[in-house]
């Protein structure tokens, strides 16, 4: 732990300067920089529970947790921190009473102590896999509980932590309660020194995803995209877009009138994907440019926080990150919107879930453009598509113990 503290102290200045360069380049504001380096924190007159989620995906997973916390204790106040501007802005846009949001500071003990003092922190909830040693140590030193919900530890990450075994043991000794995302993560945490009495039940927070009720396709989208003849490539990464476009080109003669929406994981890639599609002979409409959807154009949905729109428009969804060795993205969201699920072979982020879906016939694995084309074409059959959608709902039925975990968590908080 001493070596880590020394290393992070030495890195604070160069990392702070690199973040300042983002301000100079106009990518972030000066107040954002102050939050990131720990020199600006929201003050609070009331004690707060600190909840940290890395970015948009983790924060979306945390939303049911926030509402469950408020149900368990309506007077509870929260501080939400994220690593990304878009995550922080998402939390603010939710406008949940009693919740304030800011960017998380770099992992210095003094910056964590500053947040603890100014927000009168009662405890910390970590979502999934944000294990910052100084932050956790700062809370533990003050006798404040640290909870990890939906904790994920991949084989690769576990190998890294094994090389830092003393730090891993000390870190886990400071965690009050850890609920793993899957059985594999549970075994790996135990092998790194977690105690059985620390461990809660397996909890995949993404299973509790609830779609926003106020986000519905407008008339321009409904006029073009009908679920029965629209497919979506969701959260794609570099390399996957070409495969998707190649498959769509092959489908044009087999399924006239089929529409394609591509929603890249990183919206900044929208222009790049549009250029690729044009080179392949497609007409293109870009959401970020205000282009209206057209029946003869590939629609590039290159905007943030609008994914629920695209799931509602498409009856078939290829889940990205699975043909690009990124571990695959969540199947829960397309399933909630009754979109039949296709995925590539790399689904290590949700191995057990995709295995259940595949075995039950609720998802189809593809390897390349020809197999993706074949899978989409199979789902032209309405009965087959609807059967997959129904089975996915059954397989991904939400576990019932989140409320129980949250009640236990609230009871263990320090008094106000």
Strands 121-127 and 259-264: unpaired
Which residue has 């997959």 as its token pair?
388
Q: How far is CA 51 from CA 62, 87, 185, 215, in A?
A: 9, 13, 21, 25
Q: H or E element: which one contains 93?
A: helix 85-94
What are the structure tokens assigned to 284, written together? 């293109």
Helices 183-191 and 155-162, axial angle in degrees (round to 10): 10
- What 131-135 contacts at long range (C-beta under 8 Å, 24+ apart), as own/partner pairs, is 131/171, 132/107, 133/1, 133/4, 133/5, 133/107, 133/167, 133/170, 133/171, 134/4, 134/5, 134/8, 134/107, 134/108, 134/109, 135/52, 135/107
* CA torsion, ordered 168, 171, 177, 183, to nearest 10 deg: -10
Active-site entry in 58, 128, 130, 333: 58
The total of other beta-carbon atoms located within 10 Å of residue 277's CB is 26
Quick count: other Cβ atoms within 10 Å of Cβ 230? 24
Residue 396's DSSP bridge partners are none
The rounded distance, in Å, linking the Cα atoms of 146 and 142 is 11
Decide if 28 is catalytic.
no
Half-sphere exposure of 141 (CA within 13 A, CB side): 11
* Enclosing H/E stretch for 261: strand 259-264
Burial (CB count within 10 angstroms: exposed 0-12, middle 13-18, buried 19+), residue 197: exposed
Sign of CA dihedral 330, 127, 65, 83: negative
Contact 338, 313 (CB under 8 A): no
At residue 147's C-alpha, the angle toward residues 143 and 148, to 5°, is: 145
Helix residue ranges per DSSP H, 96-232 = 109-118, 133-141, 155-162, 165-173, 183-191, 219-224
Catalytically active residues are 58
């Amino acid at each position: 732990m001493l070596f880590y503290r020394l290393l992070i102290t030495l890195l604070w200045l160069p990392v702070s300067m690199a973040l300042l360069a983002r301000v100079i380049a106009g990518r972030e504001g000066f107040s954002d920089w102050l939050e990131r380096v720990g020199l600006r924190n929201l003050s609070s007159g009331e004690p707060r529970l600190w909840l940290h989620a890395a970015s948009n995906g983790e924060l979306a997973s945390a939303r049911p947790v926030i509402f469950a916390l408020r149900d368990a204790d309506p007077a509870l106040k929260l501080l939400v921190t994220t690593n990304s501007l878009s995550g922080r802005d998402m939390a603010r846009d939710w406008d949940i009473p009693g919740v304030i949001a800011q960017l998380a500071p770099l992992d210095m003990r003094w910056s964590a102590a500053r947040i603890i003092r100014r927000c009168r922190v009662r405890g910390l909830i970590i979502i999934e896999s944000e294990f910052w040693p100084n932050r956790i140590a700062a809370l533990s030193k003050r006798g404040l509980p640290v909870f990890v919900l939906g904790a994920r530890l991949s084989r690769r990450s576990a190998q890294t932590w094994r090389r830092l075994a003393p730090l891993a043991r000390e870190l886990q000794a400071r965690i009050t309660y850890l609920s793993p995302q899957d059985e594999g993560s549970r075994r790996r945490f135990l092998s790194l020194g977690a105690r059985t009495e620390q461990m809660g039940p397996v909890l995949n927070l993404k299973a509790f995803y609830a779609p926003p009720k106020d986000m519905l396709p407008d008339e321009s989208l409904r006029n073009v995209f009908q679920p029965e003849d629209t497919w979506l490539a969701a959260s794609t990464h570099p390399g996957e877009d070409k495969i998707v476009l190649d498959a769509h080109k092959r489908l044009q003669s087999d399924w006239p009138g089929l529409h394609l929406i591509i929603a890249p994981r990183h919206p900044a890639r929208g222009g790049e994907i549009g250029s690729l599609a044009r080179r392949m002979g497609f007409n293109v409409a870009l959401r970020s440019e205000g282009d209206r959807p057209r029946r003869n154009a590939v629609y590039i949905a290159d905007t943030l926080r609008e994914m629920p729109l695209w799931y509602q428009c498409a009856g078939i969804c290829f889940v990205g990150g699975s043909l690009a060795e990124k571990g695959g993205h969540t199947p829960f969201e397309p399933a909630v919107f009754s979109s039949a699920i296709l995925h590539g072979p790399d689904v290590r982020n949700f191995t057990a879930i995709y295995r259940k879906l595949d075995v039950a016939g609720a998802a189809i694995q593809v390897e390349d453009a020809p197999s993706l084309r074949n899978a989409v074409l199979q789902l032209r059959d309405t009965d087959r598509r609807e059967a997959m959608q129904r089975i996915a709902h059954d397989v991904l039925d939400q576990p019932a113990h989140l409320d129980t975990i949250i009640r236990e968590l609230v009871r263990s908080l320090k008094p106000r």
